[in-house]
Amino acid sequence: MGGREATMVLLDENGIRCDGRKVDEPRRIMIKAGGLKNADGSAYIEFGENKILVGVFGPRDVHPKHMSNTDTGILRVRYHMEPFSVGERKNPAPSRREIEISKVIKEALEPAVMLEKFPRTAVDVYIEVLQADGGTRCAALSAASVALADAGIPMRDMVAAIAAGKVADTVILDVNNEEDQAGQADMPIGYMPSVEKITLLQLDGVLTPEEYKKCVEVGVNGCKIVYDLQKKALNDKYFGSGED
Ligand code: CDP
């Protein structure tokens, strides 16, 4: 939270945000299931200006073998940002941030995937961020869930994700890049709507207990919007026009 709010109007007198949205309005979201021929499952998401492609492979043998677990399958996640995905070219070497986000997404997906059904194997999730504009971890997590379902991996539910946050002392849904940089708080949330479980909750910034509760409520409601689009993506592929 950069505290640069004074130089930028994040919320105008009509309650309209810097990109024209209302406080409870998500960015435009488009999710497509499938698309990658060589992956077992895949998905593509556009979430505002974020563009992310996910490929899922497995369950398959684990190499190196000592990483396998005789009791359960393992999930491996790689979140990778293209050097051209941001305005200022990103160093192609894996950054600490990418390693952290890979871990966060893996831990958010683990409660959803029935890994116990395939011991000794691995499910690999490759996330390619083609264009980043704030909220990539949530968009990537939502797309990864669709790609896992597309791969036919047994799941308790899909994880839907979106961030709530605070700008100009107001709780908002779906924090964009400017709001993330100059706002007061950013709370990415991952949620399994059918089993009513939160699997990701991070908070950058400061909130009062009331604001915290409001952010969780607004975020969970936002996840339900994402969830409907995730289900639609799968429906379109498997019961839709017959393309793919
Ligand atoms: O993307 P997300 O909000 O989940 O993660 P973040 O670490 O809070 O990053 C916020 C945003 O900063 C990203 O989505 C990118 O738009 C931007 N960013 C960037 O411009 N250059 C980087 N090397 C990393 C992130």
pLDDT digits (tens, 9 = 90+) for 110-126: 999 999 999 999 999 99
Domain-located, residue 5: no
Domain-located, residue 1: no
Domain-located, residue 3: no
Q: Residue 114: which domain range? A: 10-239
Judge if the beta carbon of residue 127 lies within 6 A of ligand 1.
no
- Give the number of the atom of ligand 1 that is nearest the alpha carbon of residue 140: 4
pTM value surpassing 0.85: yes
pLDDT digits (tens, 9 = 90+) for 74-102: 999 999 999 999 999 999 999 999 999 99
Residue whose CB lies within 8 A of the most ligand 1 atoms, among 46, 47, 86, 203, for a mutation test: 86
Which percentage of the chain shows pLDDT scores above 90? 93
Helical spans, DSSP H, in the chain:
96-109, 136-150, 177-182, 209-239
The enclosing domain of 69 has a CATH number of: 3.30.230.70
CB 34 within 8 A of CB 43: yes
Judge if the beta carbon of residue 230 lies within 6 A of ligand 1.
no
Ligand 1 mean position, distance from CA 132 (Å): 7
Structural domains of the chain, count: 1
Ligand 1 mean position, distance from CA 140 (Å): 12
Domain-located, residue 2: no
Domain-located, residue 138: yes
Residue whose CB lies within 8 A of the most ligand 1 atoms, among 180, 181, 186, 202, for a mutation test: 180
243 confidence band (pLDDT: 50, 70, 90): low
